[in-house]
Amino acid sequence: MITTIKPKLPQGKKYAVCLTFDFDTFSFRIGRMKHYSPTLISRGEFGEVGAHRILDMLSTHDLPSTWFIPGYTIESYEDTVKEIHSKGHEIAHHNYLHETPVELERDRENEIIDKANSIIEKVSGKKARGYRSPSWDLSANTLDLILEKGFVYDSSLMAHDYLPYYVRTGDVPDEDGGFKFGKNTRMIEIPISWSLEDYPVFEFDDEAPGMGLREAGSVQRNWIADFDYMTKHMDTGVYTLTTHPHVIGRGHRMEALENTVNHILKRDDTVFLTMESLAGSCLG
């Protein structure tokens, strides 16, 4: 029971592409996993290398993008984040130390959102307009909090694959008598999907044997197939790709990302947008 939105795209454009980068570096390891070993820290530290490779690729094709960056990463790599912003890319909210909202009490979550937003404002000149939950898991309080703080869009939910929609609050998952749908808010959801993400297919995790280290060509084919399905079966739509600089930034994976981008660029009815711009097109 979602209310979808067809974005108003520039003349001649039918489809939008949002390239999004979750610039976590080591915030996830420190904040969520409590891993402090030099080796595990270095895996996140590679994110700065990957970020510069991504920026070079985006500059080559003159493409905008959206970067969801924890406040901790901004403090640790302020010059890199300033460079991201100076090149016209959007800086969006990803909590402070990659905290997952479902693990937080309301007051603590509120404090973290404000803390990270102040850090974003310091480097970009304005508070974030968009929010993405670390681990894509919202608490019962998250949507109310970000609505109160003037956020325009969220990108953490999965109820559609190609169309933005209005976020609901007040759902009641009653186990007897059917699901009770809440009411739409003014918050725009720009949906995501684990199938258009890099971490689970690429990143090795010794706590999840068998996960990750997929061959990049197979992932690239899946990403391209999802884009092609949209253009074959939808009269308009938004394709959102989520990657992490410390994951996608390694050589053969960068090739898969750029090959996907080059495939999309072959179409003249498709436009690349920041998520803030896309949300604006949904508002009219």
Q: pLDDT tens digit string along 205-229? A: 766 666 789 999 999 999 999 999 9
The Cα–Cα gap between 14 and 22 comes to 26
- Please give the pLDDT value at position 34: 73
57, 60, 64, 67 alpha-carbon torsion, rounded to 10°: 20
Tokens of 204: 């090795």
pLDDT band at residue 76, thresholds of 50, 70 and 90? Answer: very high
pTM of the model: 0.96
* Domain residue limits, the chain: 15-283
Q: pLDDT tens digit string along 17-73? A: 999 999 999 998 897 767 788 998 999 999 999 999 999 999 999 999 999 999 999
Q: Provide the CATH topology of domain 15-283.
A: TIM Barrel (3.20.20)
Q: Residue range 140-164: average pLDDT?
A: 97
| Strand partners of residue 183 | 169
Give yes or no for residue 248 having a pLDDT over 90. Answer: yes
